[in-house]
Amino acid sequence: MLPRDDHGRILLKGVPRPQLLAWAGEHGLRPGQADQLWAALYRTLRGEFAVMPELDRPAREGLAAVARLDALRLESVKRAADGTCKLVFQTDDGAAVESVLIPGKERATLCVSSQVGCAMNCQFCLTATMGLARNLGAAEIVDQLVIARRRFPDVWISNVVFMGMGEPLHNLDQVLPAIDVMVDDHGLGLSHRRVTVSTSGLVPQIRRLVAESPAQLAVSVNATTDEVRDAIMPVNRKYPLAALFAALRELPLARRARVTLEYVLLAGVNDSLADAERLAELVRGLPCKLNLIPWNPHPGSEFRRPEPEQVARFKARLQELRLNTSIRATRGDDTMAACG
């Protein structure tokens, strides 16, 4: 059964193609019309049934009587000095949901949200101060990409990262079908190699994601001892570092595949050279790449961003230990759109 809004209307977005085509057939659309509906949703990015020339008038009117297209409404776009754009959407129940468009030289990345707020309570994260209000539906997740492509038609958004508001693996029942839609060759057409799902370390859900989805996995590590990780990431009390890395080593990764490990650098907390050496020990033998993220300040937090020289020393020590390491450039911090 397809999801419905509070008024009983079918939400067409976020439903994998076989299910949507089957529903369309049950509601009187011919197979060719069902394909045209899918294309209107994800190729031509139609926002209203009235401007959907792919279908004839009776089909449009029939759909409009029982279904809706957009699940979100774009409220504002805030552009940072570096070109990064924060998109603020509103849900039917009045919640604000954020995505961030990060432009590159030839293509762009969209950072999407999976929840309103977050339950993980990571101490360095601004979203954690909200607590968890609710999960986003698959339609609301997919709509972030659809509306962003519609809003920026001259920007090729080829990458999606689930690194916005929320813990994606806490909402897998909605995240998985959303990914299916994003990577469908007949629709949004993303390569599965360009969809990345980030987690704070929910071990059973990591196994499920890898088993059921072609998306790439990123894990926020952020500490090299359980004592520190317990303090800044409460999820560690349930899934400590040893359990997390044991699970990562057991994953049936494809040949040449690597897990991305994210490490938010916090001055005086986890950025010492001893931390770098412990991190190298933790990942030994695991096919991975390390993504260092200098923490981005927000009001009311006790944490500090390390000096650039310390970030460089941390990276250099990891590279001396033969680890594939990069530093994520800070983008969009003047609009509160930055990672970390």
Q: Which of 54, 85, 98, 167 is catalytic?
A: 98
Q: Are 180 and 215 in contact (CB under 8 A)?
A: no
Using one digit for the tens of pLDDT, what is the confidence trace for 173-211? 999 999 999 999 998 999 999 999 999 999 999 999 999
Q: Tell me the pLDDT band of 308, cut-offs 50, 70 and 90.
A: very high
For the residues 276-296, what does the mean pLDDT come to?
96
Q: What is the DSSP string of 5-56?
A: -TTS-EE-TT--HHHHHHHHHHTT--HHHHHHHHHHHHTS----GGG-TTS-
Amino acid symbol at 5: D
CA dist., res. 1 & res. 14, Å (int): 13
125 is an active site residue: no
Percentage of the chain beyond pLDDT 70 is 97
pLDDT in tens, 64-113: 999 999 999 999 999 999 999 999 999 999 999 999 999 988 889 999 99
Q: What was the pLDDT predicted at 142?
A: 98
**Catalytic residue among 111, 118, 288, 339, which?**
339
pLDDT at 334: 55
- What confidence score (pLDDT) does residue 110 get? 98
The string of pLDDT tens digits covering residues 33-69 is 999 999 999 999 999 999 999 999 999 999 999 999 9
> According to the model, what pLDDT value does residue 6 have?
92
Task: Give dist(CA 138, CA 126) in Å, integer.
Answer: 24
Average pLDDT of the residues in 224-251: 97
User: Residue 114's closest CA among 43, 172, 59?
Assistant: 172
Whether 115 and 134 have beta carbons less than 8 Å apart is answered as yes
Output the CA–CA distances (angstroms, integers) from residue 215 to 183, 257, 289, in the order listed: 9, 11, 16
SS3 129: helix
What is the distance between the alpha carbons of residues 126 and 107, in angstroms, rounded to a whole number? Answer: 28
For residue 46, the model assigns a pLDDT of: 96
What pLDDT score was predicted for residue 41? 97
pLDDT for residue 261 is more than 80: yes
pTM of the model as a whole: 0.94
Q: Active-site residue 98, yes or no?
A: yes
340 — pLDDT class (breaks 50, 70, 90): very low
